[in-house]
Amino acid sequence: MGAMESMDSGREQRSGSGNPPGAGSDLRGTVGVRGGRPAATVDLREVAAIFAGGAAGSLARVWIARALPSPATSWPWAIFAINASGSFLLAYIATRLQERLPLSTYPRPLIATGFCGAYTTFSTFQVEVLALLEAHRWALGVSYALASITAGLLAIWLAVGLARSGGSLR
């Protein structure tokens, strides 16, 4: 089962529409045919939620990167803060939506896939570590890599604990 098909099957169970995939005017489209198997259906509202979240996440990342500029051979504070806060938000939202709130269709694609997917950046983290190492800033590069991973894991642990305790981000 492909990623789109598994995403769609989980959405079908929660949507409660009672309509079979692609029926009625529920804004579903069919995507390709794979080896004679039934094509996956795509909920265009879900795609719109991912798109909107991605736009907001990208803008937030650019804003923070511009607010916290750093030279190429110093600690990359912007990406460090973005990845740690993105890890916290993703863990909080995923846990809260899965365990504490009624099932719904669009918050997870909007916030988790869209916003957090565009906001956080593992590739920039890797480029920054490589730039530090290439500049012979070995200790800084290794400490940045270890601190980023540690901060991300700590953020996840704190967010899951907060979400499971019923805590709110408000």
pLDDT in tens, 80-104: 999 999 999 999 999 988 886 667 7
Name the nearest CA neighbour of 61 among 90, 75, 76, 81.
81
- What mean pLDDT do residues 29-56 have? 81
DSSP per-residue codes, 92-142: HHHHIIIIIS---SSHIIIIIIIIIHHH--HHHHHHHHHHHHHTT-HHHHH
Residue 8 reports pLDDT greater than 60:
no
Cα separation, 144 vs 141, in Å, equals 5
pLDDT at 97: 87
Confidence bin at 40 (pLDDT 50/70/90): confident
Q: How far is residue 37's CA from residue 116's CA, in Å, rounded to a whole number? A: 32
pTM across the whole model: 0.73
pLDDT of residue 159: 96
